[in-house]
Structure 1
Amino acid sequence: MTETDIDASTAPPVRVGLVDDQALVRTGFRLVLDAEPDVEVVGEAGDGRAALELVDANRIDVLLMDVRMPGMDGIAATAQVTARHPETRVIVLTTFDLDEYAFAAIRSGASGFLLKDVRPQELVAAIRTVHSGEAALSPRVTRRMLELFAAELPIDGSAAAREDAAADPAPLDALTTREREILVAIAEGLNNGELAERFFLSESTVKTHVGRVLQKLGARDRVQLVILAYELGLLAPHGGAPSDR
């Protein structure tokens, strides 16, 4: 047995909460997660207010949060959960690939975005990814998130708006050149393995750089780094670096 196997077998399970107004959806997710030895479903909730009560009463590592629910919706609940329990990571669930409500929940502090018809292995992988401190956002979703974010800015996210957002570059002053490169690559949707490949670094070195970027910019996770990179003018709405012209 390798050291990695030993660590995996002795690590406590990821404690998960399920929030959806449809009991059938919660049951389906529970069936998938109960089959995983390193995941424990701690409880369920049918709306945002019940989700808050669930997290207040239990230690939840990852909360699967539906967006559209009666009463308190997933957007308001996500904002309150992440404010009251910053150690809890929220993965937003939605029926629609381009759901602006899901984007609003991400802006409220969620660390991931999944469609409800996600394949079982992808659901489990997203939970593990978010629990490890990364974001469960594919490059495609990241690009769409930036497009939606750009639409909320003045002048429809034009170059002039990005220049205004980047008028105060003070947050970037604390970053080294490499850390700034890492920030841009994270905003493009790269995970640690892809960062290591792009910059010819070991994954442990990448993790160190990412940790320093998070700390220096006061961001809780990679999702906040994506938004911050756009606000600072480091990324254009289509997901690439802005043109100097």
Structure 2
Amino acid sequence: MTTTAVRLTALRRRHRDVTALDGVDLDFRTGSFTAVMGPSGSGKSTLLHCAAGLDRPTGGRVEVAGVDLGGLSERRLTLLRRDRIGFVFQAFNLLPSLTAAQNVALPLRLAGRRPPRAEVRAALARVGLADRAGHRPGELSGGQQQRVALARALITRPAVLFADEPTGALDSAAGREVLRLLRETVDRDGMTVIMVTHDPVAASRADRVVFLADGRVGGELTAPTAEAVAHRMAGPASTPASSASASASASASASASPERAAC
């Protein structure tokens, strides 16, 4: 039976006089990869932060792994983020004074656990950086730093991984490798990945693309291709009725697209 990893119900968020989210209803299936897209100011980063428990909504409900975040104290919310949620950001957020291995081990140390060296080594090996364990962030390329950040996010085995523009600061080759690893966490480990991106190529690696406009869901595509995503981003916001048609069109394009077949 399909389960829901994250559920947003009538989600609202206001910043002073600005409505960033205006009644968003979305479910994110366990073991799925969803990209969230939209123009600047559409509410996509606010949605990610509210869904991940980094920001409190002003209305509605957020559930992660069956837990209603609205009913949690700040301490319990912090513990849930530490144990059940992983984060990857555009800016990497590595501590410059720590080695790659120490950065990866940090979430376990903060949880009061002594990280087994073999576990840390395995996390780095998974992202292709076993030979960089003793290097500090300043000695690594941007792509390598982002892979260390991904290993750090995955070492706690979170229920959901949130990624905010994870390829935004990378060149195309490094970005492809990070996207391959994100895709692998879904296909191999059954993890749920929710990614905000502005890049149609990055979005095409997801199972579904959700489009936001003015704080509302403007439609979605399933089995997306980069071409279908770019076309959708260039056009007007779709209505719910046109969303199903767009999804069917994208599915047909995916079947015929060599690029999608290679993903």
TM-score (norm 2): 0.30
TM-score (norm 1): 0.31
Structure that is richer in strand per residue: 2
Q: Which has the higher contact order (CA 8 A, sep 6+)?
A: 2
